[in-house]
Structure formats: C-alpha cells, structure tokens
Amino acid sequence: MNAQDDKMMYRLFLTAVEKQVRSKAGPDPTIELGKVLKNNSVEFDTIMIREKDEDIVPNIFLTSYYRQYIEGRSVESIAEEIIGIYSENKDRFDMSRLGDLSFEFFKDRIFFKLVNEDMNRKLIEDLPYVRTGNLILIFACLIEHDPSGIASIRINNSLMKKWNIDVKTLLETAAENTIRLFPPKVFELESRNINLLLSHRLKDAEIEDLLEGEDLGNEGENDHENDREDEAGNSRVWIPDDIPAMFVLTNKDGVDGATCIVYRGLLERIKRRLGRGFYIIPSSVHEVLILPENSGYDKESLENIVSEVNSTVLSPMDILSEKVYYYPDDCFAV
C-alpha cells in the first residue's frame, strides 16, 4: 500500500469510527472529530463525545486505534471502547469544580513546562511563553494530580487577558508553584553507556533520591556553609574526585521532568554536590542526564549521540533539544 492509499484508508477509518460512535451513543450527545496539538507541534486526531451543558470533555486519541484496526480489530469494538472511556472519565472534567476560571482560583496551580522553541512554532502562536537559552517555558493550570496521572489545561493569551496579568506575573507564579507541585529528583546510574541510557526511557523510581531531605527552598548562608563542609569530605558530596559518575535529573512524577533545569538554584546546588561543572544531556522532555566534566566526553561527541537518538529512538513529541549544555557556562535562569 502506498502512502496516498494509506492516507485514504485512515480518513475512511476516522469517518467509520465517528459514525459507529454516533450510532451507539444515541441521539443526545454531540459527536465531533477534532485535532489536538501536542508538544513539538505533533498533531493527533481525536473524537469527543459532548453532552448538553458540558464545557470540557475528554479528547480520545484515535491513532493507536487505527493501528489496532489495521491489525484486524473491528470498528464496532473500537467504538464501544471509546464510549466506555467517555463514561468512565466524563465526571473528571466537571467545570463546576474549576470555579469561575479566575486567577485567584488557579494561582496556586499555575506551573510551567520546558519545551523546544523551534519545534513548537505552531503550538505557541496563541500562548504566552518565556525564552531561556534555545528553549522556552509555556504555562498550564493543574487540574488533577494523583496516582492515575496528571490533567492540565494550557494557558493561552485569551486566558491571560481574562486574568488581566502579564507574562512576568505568570512566570513568577509558576516558578514558585512548579518546584512545589513537581519536586526534583536526582539519582545516580550504575550504567555509563550513554547510548543505551538515551535509547531507553528511564523509569526506575526505586533508586535513591540524592535530593531527599534537602531544603530546596533554602539557598542562604547556612546552605553554603554546609557545602564548604562537603568539600572537606562530608558525606553529602555525591562523588569522590577520581570516580566517573552519571546522574538523572527529573521530577517525582517522571513527566516533563527536564523542566527541573530551570528551578532556581538547583543546578548550582548540583554543581556544589558534585564538586565540579557538568554536562546536561537532554534525554527527553521527561528527564536529563547529568554528566560530570571528568567523564572523558566532550560536548560535540555528546551532541552527536543525542542527535542520533532523537532521530531514531525518541517519539517526536518527547524530543527536547539537539544541544548539550554545560553548567555553569549555560544557565537557565528565569
């Protein structure tokens, strides 16, 4: 099957699913096909089931269903599952729980995410954002945050205008909230194979968090005094001078964890714990690798590895950057 035939079959599939869902859902709900723009301007086809007076409804993504259809699953079975997903989740999006969408209601839930600017030109056309290096921060409101996942809505220019605030206020609010809502986590890796580490999503939540017990809100004189003790041999220094090591920086959820590199004071704290500068390797939007400068690698060779992994392994939606950063030369202060 050539590419044009495949596109035609995919369009027929979307139409068939819409028709089948409408048939099974009955006369009351409105059934709509739509598109959702995700990170790196990746576009997904979705279907929505909307009852009367529902302002927010879940978008149910159809891409994975098309793969199942190609493998032999019936459209009827897919439609039944879609209706089941809607029935299970519709109460999660009750607008009455979101107050009047005022800034006062949301101000403790506003957070930011770190994304690639060039790959998100389309996405940010209607979004406020802040540049930091060759990356940008976009803003969102946290709706749900529990073991089942994270639900949020993006803050666009219209919502910012409704709140009568500017980007500076958004940034200051999000900077305070994000580290509280999504605390950072650092753990050491046993493997030193960068190609392997970048090729496999890191999910080990059982490894010791080296930031556990740290007062991340305290960057005052007492903290620096403790760091001087560390350099004299205190156990809070993470690695001896002569042992190469590699670390992962993410957040407690492991979702959009690369954003931690902009947390105020965090990279400087890591530098003091390592006792040296380090490379920041963008594994994905969900985590970065921290590689101390005594590793034997240089920036050019690391960027070659990252570029290859981005083009052959990572989902386009998960790519953060082709660039490797070195701290303290490359800073992400906002």
- SS (HEC) of 16-34: HHHHHHHHHHCCCCEEEEE
Residue 245's pLDDT is 82
What is Dmax (Cα atoms) for the chain?
74
Residue given tokens 């409101």 in the structure block: 141
Residue 217's pLDDT is 59
Q: Which of 18-32, 44-58, 179-193: highest mean pLDDT?
A: 18-32
Residue 228's pLDDT is 43
The answer to whether the beta carbons of residues 324 and 261 sit under 8 Å apart is: no
pTM of the model: 0.84
Give the CA dihedral 62, 67, 72, 74, nearest 10 degrees: 0
The answer to whether the beta carbons of residues 131 and 163 sit under 8 Å apart is: no
Residue 197's pLDDT is 58
> Rounded mean pLDDT of 184-212?
68
The answer to whether the beta carbons of residues 143 and 136 sit under 8 Å apart is: no
Residue 56's pLDDT is 66
The answer to whether the beta carbons of residues 65 and 17 sit under 8 Å apart is: yes
Average pLDDT, the chain: 85
* Interacting residues of 6 by C-beta distance below 8 A, sequence separation 6+: none
| Coil, helix or strand at residue 69 | helix
Give the CA dihedral 230, 236, 241, 246, nearest 10 degrees: -150
Q: What percent of the chain has pLDDT over 70?
A: 82
Question: Above 60 in pLDDT, residue 157?
Answer: yes
Helix axes 3-25, 63-70, angle to 10 degrees: 110
Residue given tokens 């580290």 in the structure block: 179
- Cβ count within 10 A of residue 77: 13
The dihedrals phi and psi of 162, each to the nearest 5 degrees, come to -60, -40
> Rounded mean pLDDT of 179-183?
96
With residues binned 3-state (H G I as helix, E B as strand, rest as coil), the percentages for the chain, rounded to 5, are: 45, 20, 35
